[in-house]
Amino acid sequence: MLKKIGIIGAGFVGQAWAKLFIQTGYQVMLCNSRDKNTLFSVASSLGCEIGSQEETIDFSDIILVAIPFINYQQLPTDLLSNKIVLDTMNYYPDRDGHMEQLDSYQTTTSELVAQHLCKSKIVKVFNAILARDILKDAKPYDKTNRRALPIAGNDDLAKQTVYELINQVGFDYIDIGNLSESWRFERAKPAYCVPLNLEQLQQALSKADRKLELPHNSWKS
C-alpha cells in the first residue's frame, strides 16, 4: 500500500481529498502555486504537511492534480517523470477558454495532459465527483452499495495501484479503458458528478454521447 500522496492544488477539491486520504491512513503533502506558508492554516486544520511543488512531488509515491485545466501545461514534466499522476481536472470553456482540439472531439482532456506529462503515468480519476460529496459519499469501512467512480488510463499497472487507493478510501470503480475513452465521464456527460452505484454508473457510461452535453450545471442539482 502506498503511503505518501502529494496534492498539487489546494482548493476545495484538493483539500477534500487530502482530508479523506488522511482519515484513511495516508500521509499527505499539499502545495499550491504560491508560497507554501500561505497554506499554514489549511495544514493545521487538515493535519497534512505543506511544501513547495518540488518538495511535494519528491515526497510522494503518487500525485493528485487538482488545478484548473487551463494550467495543466504548467505542471513540471521532468519532476513528474515516472510518477503516477491522478488527473482530476475538467475542461470548462467558460473558465479555461475554448480549445479547438476538445471542442472538435479530436482528443480528451487526459490525453492532452499525457502529451504534456509524457514521462508520467496518467490516470483519469476523481474528476467525476463534486468536492462537497467526496467525504460525504466515501465508505471506507462499508463495502455495501458504495458510490462508484469511473477511471481510465493507458498503464495497467498504474491503474492497479489506483484501484487499491479507490477501494481504500471508500468507493467502488469502473475501469472504462484507455485515456481515449475518458470523454465518457468528462464534464456534462451522464456519469459526471452524479452519485451512482456500480450498476447505475455502468448504465450512465454506456449512455454517453461524444457530441451531446447535459444542460450546464445540471449535475449540481
**Cβ(6)–Cβ(56) below 8 Å:** yes
- Give the pairing of strands 148-153 and 121-124: antiparallel
Whether 212 is in a domain gets the answer yes
Instruction: Name all contacts of 93-99 with Cβ < 8 Å and 24+ positions apart.
Output: 95/68, 95/70, 96/68, 96/69, 96/70, 97/70
Q: What are the pLDDT digits (tens) for 91-135? A: 999 999 999 999 999 999 999 999 999 999 999 999 999 999 999
**Alpha-carbon separation of residue 62 from 70, 92, 120, 127, 213 (angstroms):** 22, 26, 11, 16, 32
**Cβ(49)–Cβ(37) below 8 Å:** no
Percent of the chain with pLDDT over 90: 87
Whether 132 is in a domain gets the answer yes
- Position 39 scores a pLDDT of 84
Three cell numbers written together for 144? 455495501
- Position 35 scores a pLDDT of 79
Whether 91 is in a domain gets the answer yes
Mean pLDDT of the region 70-77? 96
- Position 179 scores a pLDDT of 98
Domains: count for the chain: 1
Whether 200 is in a domain gets the answer yes
In 10 A of CB 126, how many CB atoms? 25
- Position 44 scores a pLDDT of 84
Whether 17 is in a domain gets the answer no
- Give the pairing of strands 62-65 and 49-50: unpaired
The residue type at 170: G
Q: What is the pTM of this model?
A: 0.95
Whether 58 is in a domain gets the answer no
- Position 34 scores a pLDDT of 80
Say whether pLDDT at 1 is over 70: no
**Owner of C-alpha cell 485545466:** 69
Mean pLDDT of the region 56-79? 96
Mean pLDDT of the region 191-206? 97
Instruction: Choose among 175, 154, 176: nearest CA to 163.
Output: 175
**Owner of C-alpha cell 498503464:** 155
Percent of the chain with pLDDT over 70: 99
Count of residues for the chain? 221
Domain that holds residue 190: 68-220
Q: What are the pLDDT digits (tens) for 127-178? A: 999 999 999 999 998 989 999 999 999 999 999 999 999 999 999 999 999 9
In sequence order, which ranges of the chain are alpha helices (DSSP H)?
A: 12-23, 40-46, 53-59, 93-96, 100-103, 109-116, 131-137, 156-169, 198-207
- Position 89 scores a pLDDT of 98
Residues 104 and 170: their CA atoms lie apart, in Å, by 36
**Alpha-carbon separation of residue 141 from 145, 163, 171, 189 (angstroms):** 12, 16, 10, 29
Whether 181 is in a domain gets the answer yes
- CATH number of residue 168's parent domain: 3.40.50.720
Q: What are the pLDDT digits (tens) for 203-213? A: 999 999 999 99
- Position 2 scores a pLDDT of 65
Three cell numbers written together for 44? 493545521
**Any idea what DSSP says for residue 56?**
H
